[in-house]
Chains A and B, each alone.
Chain A
């Protein structure tokens, strides 16, 4: 099994003209990329715009991607450059400059104002978080440990197997069952009530 085989198989499909495969890459990395961009800009809306631009740049540059590095490493560099350029061009604009950097206080206020433009989004984010946390709390111990070690600690299946003293196949099964259990609760959020706001694809 090769590291990054999953991303590479999707990348190869995109390179052959399958745009649907790019959706899967975006879905997988959008949160990581927004988090990364938020090191450069303070409000989530702007970070999402920059992440979106980074994904489009990555899509256009994909024919040149040869797989020498991991896809996310390559995407990461594009996002960093896009974020830096966005910050520089924003700082060159005198109006934006006055709004953004006249003082730290006004900068924070502006960030909060932009956030408050999408209250439904904030509520949904909170609801998703609480649903996931409640679902994790309800999991059996072995499933909870497996999913937390994977998602929070970033351990590989082999490392988790060593930590939990069980075969790799068992780890794979536990993580899958944990995800399924959480996903059942999450689907209720997305499909009913607030879920109308955004379908993930």
Chain B
């Protein structure tokens, strides 16, 4: 037998042969009975050197497996049919994924478009800020129609809305809370937030007489 071929076989057995050479030798190995026997003896030599206890070196596994595999259907045909089966549902799966992404995107965009109003409306109804900071997509449309008609909702700002009152505003509301009615307090809060977001000053008209904001002295108690 060709010595170079045997040397390649030995290297392939050790996973030390370049993959291109492996491809060629694998083809020959699968057909050449003598080469296959040599390959099998290389495995026996390894097992004997490792002194694998209890393992019979003349194991009949290979012969029996080979006989059973001969009666099995060929894998090439199975793989081809599996590829064919995969081929038809791939475009459908792709379309389904694209549709799902589009639906989620639309819902998300709608929710984003409505979100600036939702906290204000909810705030006007007396809900705690922590509860309205992240309105759900399903909740926002349910709140908004009635909120939009409410007399406590200020005009929608054009610019971005600050959802958290500034410390100045908070101090002011706390300072005046003992002198104002709950309705006036809410009106004032809404007016402040709208006014700040729109870049204009405080809407003094929203407050009751005597509750005029004094932004120059936010910490001053009344």
Contacts and interface: CB of A to CB of B under 8 A. Distances in A.
A116 interface: no
> How many A residues are at the interface, by size bracket?
35 or more
B14 A175 contact: yes
Given A10-B26, A19-B74, A132 B79 contact: no
Given A156-B16, A157-B16, A9 B22 contact: yes
Interface stretch (A85-93, A97-105, A192-200): A192-200
B58 to A, nearest CB: 4
10 contacts: A13-B26, A20-B36, A34-B55, A51-B59, A56-B69, A60-B72, A63-B78, A157-B16, A183-B38, A186-B44
B62 A182 contact: no
B56 A26 contact: no
A143 interface: no
Interface residues of B, dominant DSSP: helix
Given A19-B74, A186-B44, A10 B30 contact: yes
Most buried by A among B25, B54, B59, B79: B59
B72 A197 contact: no
Contacts of B60: 48, 198
B58 A197 contact: yes
Most buried by A among B38, B41, B44, B60: B44
Contacts of B62: 23, 26-27, 30, 200-201
A77 interface: no
Contacts, number: 226
Contacts of A47: 54
B221 interface: no
B29 A21 contact: yes
A132 B7 contact: no
B56 A121 contact: yes
B61 A52 contact: yes
B19 to A, nearest CB: 4
Contacts of B61: 26, 30, 33-34, 48, 51-52, 55
Contact of A172 (B11, B29, B52, B72): B11
A63 B45 CA distance: 31
B77 A52 contact: no
B183 to A, nearest CB: 67
A46 to B, nearest CB: 11
B46 interface: yes
Contacts of B55: 31, 34-35, 38, 44
B84 interface: no
Contact of A6 (B17, B40, B56, B74): B17
A122 B57 CA distance: 9
Contacts of A136: 49
B179 interface: no
B43 A31 contact: yes
B104 interface: no
Contacts of B78: 63
A5 B41 contact: no
A17 interface: yes
B63 interface: yes
Nearest to A58: B65
A28 B13 CA distance: 8
A30 B36 contact: no
